[in-house]
């Protein structure tokens, strides 16, 4: 069996290896943070989290359990908040990169005039407001690929126009987790932008698969790449088209558990879930695939570093 160590996926293998940064080159904020997929990826690249928000109380337990040692300031200084809609944007620390896997609430059907005002009433408005006031050098967003075609593309156009109106460049692409080392399809939309319009951004090229579903289960599985890890709907019959968590392993039917889910998402083996198994599986299904985030984050940081060198 091939090694499933996360470092083989170009991601840290052990949170013990994530050190507390005193003088990082860059900083980021982690909005709609979930269990901290963005945090792990960006921190492992040498960037420091200075602010985080997550409203779900169970996800907050998991986030704090895994990051309180490497980013104690956000907890000690009240910078790990719940409801971002009730927080004063001016109190958010200055930062270089805004990261967010934001929920896509329905946008108003009335108007779609253009720009910042059209986002009011949605959680995307809070991202836009932070960008408007804090002016980070870059943003890095993740969402489901369906956002591209939501309401015949109108929602995506409002988001695009808003970000451009705020002074940022705009790059987007749908990438699959299986193209960045981990064995699940998980196509997701990624959007990146910079205040420096001289930066010409390219999304990272795919890399070979670093582990298969046989490595995930530590047994023989009849497919190398698994289904996209999901929230809910578990235990459909394995032959059902809705099945996503059932696999034939060494001739027997098995279901994805927490250990397997962590491997499919590129989480460190020692990542903790101080919650019920049901909650842990829900949180895994809602998480980002860390190798994809790290690959994109690496490109963002490289471009920012090149931009600094020219100024």
Alpha carbon separation from 200 to 117, 169, 261 (Å, rounded): 28, 9, 35
DSSP string, 141-184: EEEEGGGGGGGGGHHHHHHHHHHHHTT---EEEEEEGGGGTSSB
- Which one of the listed residues 49, 99, 104, 235 is annotated catalytic? 104
Q: Which residues sit opposite 139 in a β-bridge? A: 98, 193
Q: Distance between CA atoms of 217 and 250, rounded to whole angstroms?
A: 10
Q: Distance between CA atoms of 35 and 286, rounded to whole angstroms?
A: 9
**Cα atoms in the Cβ-side hemisphere of radius 13 Å centred on 178:** 14
DSSP string, 14-35: -GGG-PPPSS-SEEEEEES-TT
Residue 116 is given by DSSP the state G
Structure-token match 């690959």, residue found: 295
Residue 226 is given by DSSP the state B
Catalytic site includes residue 104:
yes
Q: Distance between CA atoms of 81 and 74, rounded to whole angstroms?
A: 9
**Strands (E) located in 250-294:** 252-255
Single out the residue of 89, 65, 85 nearest to residue 75, CA to CA.
65
- Do residues 115 and 167 touch, judged by C-beta distance below 8 A? no
- The three-state secondary structure class of 223 is coil
Catalytic residue IDs? 104
């Amino acid at each position: 069996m091939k090694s499933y160590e996360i470092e083989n996926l170009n991601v840290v293998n052990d949170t013990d290896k994530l050190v507390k940064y005193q003088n990082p080159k860059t900083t980021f904020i982690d909005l709609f943070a979930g269990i901290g997929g963005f945090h792990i990826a960006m921190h492992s690249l040498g960037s420091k989290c200075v602010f985080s928000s997550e409203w779900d109380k169970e996800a907050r337990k998991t986030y704090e359990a895994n990051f309180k040692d490497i980013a104690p300031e956000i907890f000690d200084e009240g910078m790990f908040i719940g409801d971002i809609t009730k927080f004063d944007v001016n109190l958010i620390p200055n930062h270089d990169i805004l990261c967010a896997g934001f929920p896509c609430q329905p946008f108003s059907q009335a108007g779609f005039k253009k720009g910042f005002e059209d986002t009011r009433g949605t959680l995307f408005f809070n991202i836009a407001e932070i960008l408007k006031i804090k002016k980070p050098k870059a943003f890095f967003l993740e969402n489901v690929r369906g956002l591209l075609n939501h309401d015949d593309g109108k929602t995506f156009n409002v988001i695009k126009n808003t970000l451009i109106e705020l002074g940022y460049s705009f790059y987007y692409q749908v990438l699959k987790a299986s193209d960045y080392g981990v064995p699940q399809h998980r196509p997701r939309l990624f959007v990146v932008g910079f205040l420096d319009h001289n930066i010409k951004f390219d999304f990272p090229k795919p890399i070979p698969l670093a582990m298969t579903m046989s490595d995930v289960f530590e047994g023989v599985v009849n497919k190398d790449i698994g289904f996209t890890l999901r929230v809910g709907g578990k235990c459909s019959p394995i032959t059902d088209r809705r099945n996503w968590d059932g696999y034939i392993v060494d001739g027997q039917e098995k279901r994805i558990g927490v250990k397997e889910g962590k491997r499919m998402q590129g989480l460190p083996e020692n990542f903790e879930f101080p919650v019920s198994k049901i909650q842990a599986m829900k949180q895994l299904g809602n998480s980002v695939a860390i190798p994809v985030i790290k690959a994109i984050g690496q490109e963002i940081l490289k471009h920012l570093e090149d931009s600094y060198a020219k100024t």
